[in-house]
Amino acid sequence: MFASIKQGVDTICILPTWLDRPPLPGDKVVVKIYKIIPEKRKIYSTLIKVIGSDASE
């Protein structure tokens, strides 16, 4: 899955096996970045926690 870190910056995110449901579009998540490859403009991370959606945004 892809997670947006900030506008225009996304990360490729690995879903853990313990996750009972994948996050829905718009859900807030906590990710751990483990690899950045600037020359390829890629950021790799793993999902740590699903916080849920924020209706105010």
Query: What is the mean pLDDT, run by run of 10 residues, along the chain of 57 residues?
Result: 88 86 86 93 91 65
What per-residue confidence (pLDDT) applies to 37? 93
Q: How far apart are CA 51 and CA 49, in angstroms?
A: 6
What per-residue confidence (pLDDT) applies to 7? 87
What per-residue confidence (pLDDT) applies to 39? 95
What per-residue confidence (pLDDT) applies to 44? 93
SS3 (DSSP) at 48:
strand
Report the 10 Å Cβ neighbour count for 36. 12
Report the 10 Å Cβ neighbour count for 28. 13
